[in-house]
């Protein structure tokens, strides 16, 4: 078990902490391997309702390890094909964050750059401290970008702004990220952990079956037609209407009390 990724599960909230603070949590092979093991497991765990991704110390994640790049140690494999396939396998981390049937939150303090920004954008929501800084960064090291960043950024801010941010690699502060829709919330740095865990806890206590189908709807909306989405919503709405959680919520509404969801 690597120390590059820490895992904690409390009251239905799983927190994954990228743990290389001396390198601003730059991605490592052990870290990515640990994520690829943890995310599918957490996605099916009955104990977990929400997954939070964050970084240790003063940064979220600086992306690739530039020192390893300079020393030629970053890429796996000897041929171009081997390197591309190894990278693509690691990039499944982004797909799991985006597609797992549970809400995923990025708790962002300090730098979220390059692939680190991609991972933050792969999550359903980004809660940023006022110290957060966002940058695509790839142009600064002569790379085109990975971990789905170009797709996620285009979805979040539109193609024109996404291209500008990729081409210039300009660094944006937390308020800029909020204005662009890149961050969902900005809170004081000292309150980041408390505020993110409060939101995560609220979601973990929510209707987990409904969240699963909401997320399917939202993901399908990113590329589907309106007619396709209407069909999907009809099936998913009918499916969630048959859950115990729906019946409990309806009773609670009539009784003027908070519902107690059981995830079934």
Q: In this structure, how many other beta carbons lie within 10 angstroms of the beta carbon of residue 30? A: 14
Ramachandran angles phi, psi of 97, nearest 5° = -60, -40
> Using 50, 70 and 90 to split pLDDT, how confident is the model at 69?
low
pLDDT digits (tens, 9 = 90+) for 19-34: 999 999 999 999 999 9
Which position has the token pair 């991972």? 119
- Mean pLDDT confidence for 229-256: 86
70 — pLDDT class (breaks 50, 70, 90): low
pLDDT at 74 over 70: no
pLDDT at 250 > cutoff 80: no
State percent of the chain over pLDDT 90.
Answer: 72
pLDDT at 183: 97
């Amino acid at each position: 078990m690597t120390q590059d990724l820490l895992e904690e599960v409390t009251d239905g909230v799983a927190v994954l902490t990228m743990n290389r603070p001396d390198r601003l949590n730059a991605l490592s092979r052990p870290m990515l391997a640990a994520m690829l093991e943890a995310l599918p497991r957490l996605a099916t765990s009955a104990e977990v309702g929400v997954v939070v991704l964050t970084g240790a110390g003063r940064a979220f994640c600086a992306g690739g390890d530039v020192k390893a790049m300079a020393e030629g140690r970053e890429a796996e494999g000897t041929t171009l094909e081997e390197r591309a396939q190894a990278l693509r396998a690691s990039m499944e981390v982004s797909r799991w964050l985006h597609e797992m049937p549970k809400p995923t939150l990025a708790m962002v303090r300090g730098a979220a750059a390059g692939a680190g920004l991609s991972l933050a954008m792969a999550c359903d929501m980004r809660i940023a401290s006022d110290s957060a800084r966002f940058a695509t960064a790839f142009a600064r090291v002569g790379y085109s970008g990975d971990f789905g960043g170009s797709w996620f950024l285009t979805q979040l801010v539109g193609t024109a702004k996404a291209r500008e941010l990729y081409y210039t690699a300009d660094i944006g502060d937390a308020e800029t990220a909020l204005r662009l829709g890149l961050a969902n919330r900005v809170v004081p740095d000292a309150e980041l952990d408390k505020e993110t865990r409060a939101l995560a806890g609220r979601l973990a206590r929510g209707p987990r079956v409904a969240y699963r189908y909401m997320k399917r709807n939202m993901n399908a909306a990113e590329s589907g037609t309106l007619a396709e989405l209407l069909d999907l919503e009809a099936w998913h709405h009918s499916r969630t209407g048959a859950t115990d959680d729906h019946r409990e919520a309806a009773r609670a509404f009539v009784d003027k009390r908070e519902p107690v969801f059981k995830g079934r």
